[in-house]
A and B are shown apart, each in its own frame.
Chain A
Amino acid sequence: MTTHHESQVPATTEEPLANPGLPEHTWRPTDVHESAEKRAERQVASLYGASAVFTLLFVVAYFSLDVDDNWTTFGGYGASTVALGACLGAALLCIGIGTIQWARKLMADHEMVEMRHAVRSSDEDRQETLAALDAGAGESGITRRPLIRNSLLGAVGLLGVPAVVLLRDLGPTPGQVANAEEGTGLEHTIWAEGVRVVRDVVGTPIRPGDLIIGDLVNAVPDGLFDLEGIELQQQKAKAAVIVVKMEPGDIIPGEGREDWSVDGIQVYSKICSHVGCPISLYERTTHHVLCPCHQSTFDLADSAKVVFGPAARPLPQLPLSVDGEGYLVAQSDFTEPVGPSYWERNA
């Protein structure tokens, strides 16, 4: 190991000050007073002892505190979690603080100087490596036999293809699952002509007279709850709607949508056209509905046009009518894909 004298750097004419070299080492109280040294030793050992106590307390807490029915204690954290965390934390911190105290007070604190080595290899090493590479390349003949080299590169490169092809069955393509009858795929839902609009969760059908002006009801297509598992989740993610009633005169019907509402009742997709969050924050006086995720705001009186936020397209509207028994039904499926945009959406 070198000493600090070697690190002295001669002053160049440019340098205003010469490197004064490492400062004198100063002794710590624990280096010169035996009492201070003993005290530090006791501190470190006590911290290690305390750690052992906390570890034992951790085990005691593990076996004595129930986890299942006391989650409301200690502000909802649960006595077991609080005790285990506090004991484990204290046990670990005592070891950590003790060890650092040991290093700072008792271990030698002489600064040492080590010289750096050049990161780059020496010229001789470079020459030798190049020579070895040349010898290897020459003996294999890889440079002289381009036919072998190129056919090998081609063969190995082609092996990338199985790696990609093997992933093909990760999932079907959008086209493979598209089925208007079953309401599958990006462009279809289980909404169809005559499907009743029923309330979310409870599943009861809705008569126009059940709603008063200003209402917003979360709804789904009748028959949704007959589905199970993935199909249920997939349809929920596409077919969920909001039913709103406003003064019929407030509605500015979209082109070709004049007969899509019933007594001022309109139905829109609940799935945001931005990235697909469900929407239902409704302000009845302005007829604006706000997406809680990214704050896109749609005007439900005006074909759900975007009035604010990052969404680029209105919420799709469901053509609405009333069936023979006077319940709200769909005239057809949505006339455009619901949910987030995608490349071939309008193709």
Chain B
Amino acid sequence: MSIDTSKVADTNGTSSSSAAKPTKAGVVANWADERLGLATAMKKNLRKVFPDHWSFMLGEVALWSFVVLLLTGVFLTLWFDPSMAEGEYTGSYDPMRGVEMSQSMKSTLEISFDVRGGLLMRQMHHWAAMIFIASMMVHMMRVYFTGAYRKPREINWVIGCLLLFLGTIEGFTGYSLPDDLLSGTGVRAADGFMKATPVVGSYMSFFLFGGEFPGDSIIPRLYVMHVLLIPGILLGLVAAHMLLLVYHKHTQWPGPGKTEANVVGFPMLPVYAAKAGGFFFIVFGTIALMGGLMTINPIWKYGPYDPTKVTAGSQPDWYMGWPDGLLRIIPGWETELPGGYLISWNVMIPILILPPLMLTVLLLLPFIEAWITGDKREHHLLERPRNRPTQTALMVALMTFYGLSWAAGGNDIIAIKLDLSINQITYFMRAAVFIGPVIAFIIARRWCISLQRHDEGKLLHGYETGVIMRAPDGGYSEKHLPISEAEAYTLTARDRETPWSPEREIDENGVPAPNSRLNSLRAKLSTLMYADNVQKPTAEELDEARHHAEHELALQTAMDGVSADGHQFDGTHPVEGESLRGGH
């Protein structure tokens, strides 16, 4: 690298002898800053610190797959014709030639077989949609299990839940567009769902379909929802989600040097920009490989939609599977009101009531928890799932309900693959969706508590070395060695919890909150939530335990350097010439 001597001062003056000539980039930057004031806006954010952890990448997967969806989706719109006008297929795919089908099916086949890269883009779009929704779900669980939704991030949790819900609708409207036999069957079922709505059901169906099912309006209407309405809302919500993330600053795991008041990590420029930018290419590339190598939604194998045809093993895309499973296992309940009006519980409960209820429960989780705990502090340090046993168990119970319902949506596949009776699977699932979550709750909660106890043991007595000591009197014990200071601090870096009680809320006159029914419920829930948790030791307890451990170790030092002191296995001294059996 040569040095530009023109800028080297050749006098003792305080200003350079020659005025710095602005570079080209400088000119552009100046032009932009004079109009946009960019420097002020960017000075803090360019070096904004982001904490590092693999689990913080899950939301990024969702973000980048959404970008891939936008890119591939725009490509598909160039050829896709969302029309239900019927015509004969004359394209390249021989088995379908001569078959009557709608324009949307025809153009989807054209994209798949006559546009170079068209099938790749179609499959990438579909895979990206699956990854988008899956990563949103996993990201949501990460946020829940680590307590990242607590104050001040409740609104971002709500936005995230809405994104997941809208993403699901977006997926349904998208895979319905080709008007193939599989998706047409899904639209037929959606017509049945709408008709099951009390009072206005048949009107809703007639308005959406532009008359009697199937009509010729549904695909164009789903199309405009899929490419304009829902993506627009999704984009706005994603932007709000990211803005709030930047404003709140990211949560971080507790550890040495990390506090509720700081963020420890790498600066946006250059490290995070490079990592996140590079990660975009990794997500994009992975989806491209999947689109090129893994068939998804081969509509040419299903054929065009025909209301008189259906195939066995009809499954919606996986994220629609759980309401479909509930729809399969619910008994055929229907109530006829006076006057002949019908309430179709068998459709309403699994489709019109439970999914919105699930969304509502998810939306309310942070607020219910804050009410029970009475906690009004900001939380920027994450919690380990084991240190919030009840909340972890609650999400595990919800996941179990989801998983069982989802499995019920594949009851026909399970019956075939595992050679079981579909009726028995259905009867089993009817009970399992109620009992399973309860069992899962209990197991997960106790599991967390026992992990907490394990942590406490590690903190107080040291880690298990795996070295078994034999005392002169013949007793056996395992040798424990103290854990590092950093690890010990990390284990204690969490809140000490006390169950909420009305006495805790003393108003300014010194009167505790009234012992109302609501407050006693709150106290009970708080007790359920916290009472069994293992709290971190106090300073005295830790001191005492450490003295005890030092004493134990001192007793064992007589053995140090001798066979079977345990250290021959961790490289502290060589084992050559030493025999565990001492000469025998």
Inter-chain contact B278/A100, CB cutoff 8 Å = yes
- B387 nearest CB across to chain A (Å): 15
**What is the number of residues of chain B that contact chain A, defined by CB distance less than 8 Å?**
131
Inter-chain contact A77/B334, CB cutoff 8 Å = no
Residues of A within 8 A of B128 (CB): none
Docked complex Cα distance between A220 and B306 (Å): 13
Provided the pairs A97-B278, A111-B265, A116-B262 are in contact, do residues A293 and B196 lie with their beta carbons within 8 angstroms?
A: no
- Interface residues in B74-128 by Cβ distance below 8 A to A read 84-86, 92-93, 113-120, 123-124
Partner-binding segment picked from A143-151, A207-215, A227-235: A227-235
Provided the pairs A16-B537, A81-B292, A292-B412 are in contact, do residues A107 and B270 lie with their beta carbons within 8 angstroms?
A: yes
- Look across to chain A and name the residue whose beta carbon is closest to the beta carbon of B91: A68
Docked complex Cα distance between A240 and B309 (Å): 10
- Look across to chain B and name the residue whose beta carbon is closest to the beta carbon of A313: B334
B192 in the interface (beta carbon within 8 A): yes
Inter-chain contact B152/A119, CB cutoff 8 Å = yes
Inter-chain contact A67/B423, CB cutoff 8 Å = no
Residues of B within 8 A of A230 (CB): 84, 211, 214-216
- B60 nearest CB across to chain A (Å): 12
Inter-chain contact B216/A344, CB cutoff 8 Å = no
- B341 nearest CB across to chain A (Å): 6
Inter-chain contact B212/A177, CB cutoff 8 Å = yes
B447 in the interface (beta carbon within 8 A): no
Inter-chain contact B486/A293, CB cutoff 8 Å = no
Inter-chain contact A21/B209, CB cutoff 8 Å = no
Residues of B within 8 A of A76 (CB): 295
Residues of B within 8 A of A320 (CB): none
Partner-binding segment picked from A246-254, A257-265, A275-283, A327-335: A275-283
Provided the pairs A108-B271, A292-B310, A293-B310 are in contact, do residues A67 and B118 lie with their beta carbons within 8 angstroms?
A: yes
Partner-binding segment picked from A28-36, A121-129, A153-161, A168-176: A168-176
Inter-chain contact A310/B258, CB cutoff 8 Å = no
Docked complex Cα distance between A210 and B245 (Å): 71
Contact of B196 among A98, A100, A342 (CB under 8 A): A342
Docked complex Cα distance between A68 and B93 (Å): 8
Docked complex Cα distance between A332 and B435 (Å): 49
B312 in the interface (beta carbon within 8 A): yes
Provided the pairs A16-B539, A173-B206 are in contact, do residues A91 and B293 lie with their beta carbons within 8 angstroms?
A: no
Inter-chain contact A19/B259, CB cutoff 8 Å = yes
B280 in the interface (beta carbon within 8 A): yes
Most buried by B among A69, A186, A279, A345: A345
A340 in the interface (beta carbon within 8 A): yes
A202 in the interface (beta carbon within 8 A): no
- B126 nearest CB across to chain A (Å): 13
Inter-chain contact B257/A19, CB cutoff 8 Å = yes
Partner-binding segment picked from B13-21, B282-290, B549-557: B282-290
- Look across to chain B and name the residue whose beta carbon is closest to the beta carbon of A280: B310
Residues of B within 8 A of A113 (CB): 49, 257, 262-264
Inter-chain contact A95/B278, CB cutoff 8 Å = yes
Residues of B within 8 A of A173 (CB): 203, 206
B213 in the interface (beta carbon within 8 A): yes
Residues of A within 8 A of B202 (CB): 174, 186, 342-344
B472 in the interface (beta carbon within 8 A): no
Inter-chain contact B312/A22, CB cutoff 8 Å = no
- A239 nearest CB across to chain B (Å): 9
Provided the pairs A4-B257, A92-B284, A340-B196 are in contact, do residues A116 and B380 lie with their beta carbons within 8 angstroms?
A: yes
- B456 nearest CB across to chain A (Å): 11
Q: Contact mask B297-311 → A, CB, 8 Å, 1/0?
A: 000000000111111
Inter-chain contact B288/A89, CB cutoff 8 Å = yes
Residues of A within 8 A of B422 (CB): 295
Please classify how large the interface on chain A is, using the bins under 10, 10 to 19, 20 to 34, 35 or more.
Answer: 35 or more
Inter-chain contact A341/B196, CB cutoff 8 Å = yes
- A126 nearest CB across to chain B (Å): 16
Contact of A103 among B274, B283, B289 (CB under 8 A): B274
- Interface residues in B291-345 by Cβ distance below 8 A to A read 291-293, 295, 306-314, 324, 327-334, 336, 339-344
Q: Contact mask A1-31 → B, CB, 8 Å, 1/0?
A: 1101011110101111111111100000000
Docked complex Cα distance between A67 and B330 (Å): 46
Residues of B within 8 A of A118 (CB): 378
Residues of A within 8 A of B208 (CB): 170-171
- Look across to chain A and name the residue whose beta carbon is closest to the beta carbon of B328: A294
Inter-chain contact A116/B284, CB cutoff 8 Å = no
Inter-chain contact B331/A310, CB cutoff 8 Å = yes
Provided the pairs A103-B271, A171-B207, A295-B426 are in contact, do residues A312 and B346 lie with their beta carbons within 8 angstroms?
A: yes
B199 in the interface (beta carbon within 8 A): yes
Docked complex Cα distance between A293 and B333 (Å): 18
B277 in the interface (beta carbon within 8 A): yes
Inter-chain contact A115/B262, CB cutoff 8 Å = yes
Inter-chain contact B308/A270, CB cutoff 8 Å = yes
Inter-chain contact A107/B281, CB cutoff 8 Å = no
- Look across to chain B and name the residue whose beta carbon is closest to the beta carbon of A93: B285
- B312 nearest CB across to chain A (Å): 4
B489 in the interface (beta carbon within 8 A): yes
Q: Contact mask B113-148 → A, CB, 8 Å, 1/0?
A: 111111110011000000000000000000000000
Residues of B within 8 A of A292 (CB): 310-314, 412
Residues of B within 8 A of A200 (CB): 308
B364 in the interface (beta carbon within 8 A): no
- Look across to chain A and name the residue whose beta carbon is closest to the beta carbon of B316: A293
Most buried by A among B212, B265, B380, B538: B212
- Look across to chain A and name the residue whose beta carbon is closest to the beta carbon of B298: A76
- A285 nearest CB across to chain B (Å): 16
Inter-chain contact A346/B341, CB cutoff 8 Å = yes
Residues of A within 8 A of B118 (CB): 67
Inter-chain contact A99/B286, CB cutoff 8 Å = no
- Interface residues in A68-104 by Cβ distance below 8 A to B read 68-69, 71, 76-78, 80-86, 88-100, 102-104
Provided the pairs A85-B293, A107-B270 are in contact, do residues A342 and B49 lie with their beta carbons within 8 angstroms?
A: no
- B120 nearest CB across to chain A (Å): 5
- Look across to chain A and name the residue whose beta carbon is closest to the beta carbon of B216: A230
A309 in the interface (beta carbon within 8 A): yes
Inter-chain contact B292/A293, CB cutoff 8 Å = no
Partner-binding segment picked from B158-166, B183-191, B352-360, B367-375: B183-191
Residues of A within 8 A of B93 (CB): 71
Inter-chain contact B307/A311, CB cutoff 8 Å = no
- Interface residues in A183-224 by Cβ distance below 8 A to B read 184-186, 200, 218, 220
Docked complex Cα distance between A343 and B337 (Å): 10
Q: Contact mask B372-395 → A, CB, 8 Å, 1/0?
A: 000000101000000000000000
Residues of B within 8 A of A6 (CB): 262
Docked complex Cα distance between A1 and B266 (Å): 12
B48 in the interface (beta carbon within 8 A): yes
- B406 nearest CB across to chain A (Å): 15
B47 in the interface (beta carbon within 8 A): yes
Q: Please give the residue numbers on chain B whose beta carbons come within 8 Å of chain A beta carbons, in ascending order.
A: 47-49, 84-86, 92-93, 113-120, 123-124, 152, 185, 188-189, 191-193, 195-203, 205-217, 247-249, 256-267, 270-271, 274-275, 277-293, 295, 306-314, 324, 327-334, 336, 339-344, 346-347, 378, 380, 411-412, 422-423, 426, 485-486, 488-489, 492-493, 496, 536-539, 541-542
Name 30 interchain pairs, CB-CB below 8 A, sorted by A.
A7-B258, A7-B262, A14-B539, A16-B538, A16-B541, A17-B489, A19-B493, A21-B256, A81-B120, A84-B117, A96-B281, A99-B278, A103-B275, A107-B274, A109-B266, A113-B257, A119-B378, A171-B208, A237-B188, A237-B214, A292-B314, A295-B328, A310-B330, A312-B332, A341-B195, A341-B334, A342-B201, A343-B201, A343-B341, A344-B341
The 4 closest A-B pairs by CB, nearest first: A85-B292, A275-B192, A96-B281, A99-B278
Having A107-B270, A294-B327, A347-B339, one finds 4 other A-B pairs with CB under 8 Å, namely A81-B291, A230-B216, A293-B189, A343-B200
